[in-house]
Amino acid sequence: MEKIIVKDNIEGGKKAFELIKEGMRQETKVLGLATGSTPIALYKEMTESDLDFGHMTAINLDEYFGLSADNDQSYHYFMQEQLFSKKPFKETFIPDGLADEETEPARYDKIIDEHPIDIQILGIGTNGHIGFNEPGTSFDSTTRKVSLTESTIASNKRNFEKAEEVPRYAYSMGIKSILSAKEIILMVFGEEKAEAIKKTLEGPITTDVPGSVLQQHPNVVVIMDEAAAKLI
């Protein structure tokens, strides 16, 4: 695992962008993307660059269950706002929050199988989750409907007007699919992530800390700011 410590998320976004640019000079065609506050600086770098993503495929990690693509709290909406409306991709995939839970997981896994991910961008939850794979998730998991933990619901509350509006469920790509990416760039910013990233990088590999499975992946780059890295 390569560990890079940067001053802040802006510098972290620039670093991640450099890695993606480097990948695109070679064989990178499929990007696995995340939402939330962590990748915003990266997406800004991408939108302000002169790079063309028109030959690339993007596959997102997750979507809130029950939210439509045009709901401004959905991850569809977020990706459109932050990246896709400014930098068109050849094709983009995000789980459909309104789709049937009997069919959506298999549909999404088929998409992942047909578009092997070259570089997967990840953030991490304060509880160590990657994607919405909460503590206790099997490392063999594939796409499914997940129940969000109280700690995730509490963190996500900051983006909603009322606590009761925060979705309790989501569709998430599984840990097995995340691990299938050829390269993983994990970005971690802010002091509130310090405990989680210490356990992820230095603790035992355990389903209690889903991110710890990344220790088993052969090609992970971790970009942390100084606040997040303070216990490392």
Q: Coil, helix or strand for 124? A: coil
Query: Residue 26 CB, nearest distance to ligand F6R (Å)?
Result: 25
Tell me which amino acid residue 124 is: I
Choices 32-40, 81-89, 101-109, 143-151 (CB under 6 A): range interacting with ligand F6R? 32-40
Query: Residue 23 CB, nearest distance to ligand F6R (Å)?
Result: 20
Q: Is 200 in the site for ligand F6R (CB under 6 A)?
A: no
Cα 152 to Cα 12, 17, 116, 134, 168, distances in angstroms: 23, 27, 28, 9, 9
Task: Decide if 52 is catalytic.
Answer: no
Q: Which value, in Å, is the radius of gyration of the alpha carbons in the chain?
A: 16
Q: Is 35 in the site for ligand F6R (CB under 6 A)?
A: yes
Q: How many CB atoms lie within 10 A of CB 85?
A: 10
Q: Is 147 in the site for ligand F6R (CB under 6 A)?
A: no
CB 121 within 8 A of CB 17: no
Distance CA 216, CA 205 (A): 8
**Binding to ligand F6R (CB under 6 A): which residues in 52-71?**
61-62
Q: Is 228 in the site for ligand F6R (CB under 6 A)?
A: no
Query: Residue 34 CB, nearest distance to ligand F6R (Å)?
Result: 4
Query: Residue 107 CB, nearest distance to ligand F6R (Å)?
Result: 19
Point out the residues that are catalytic: 62, 127, 129, 134
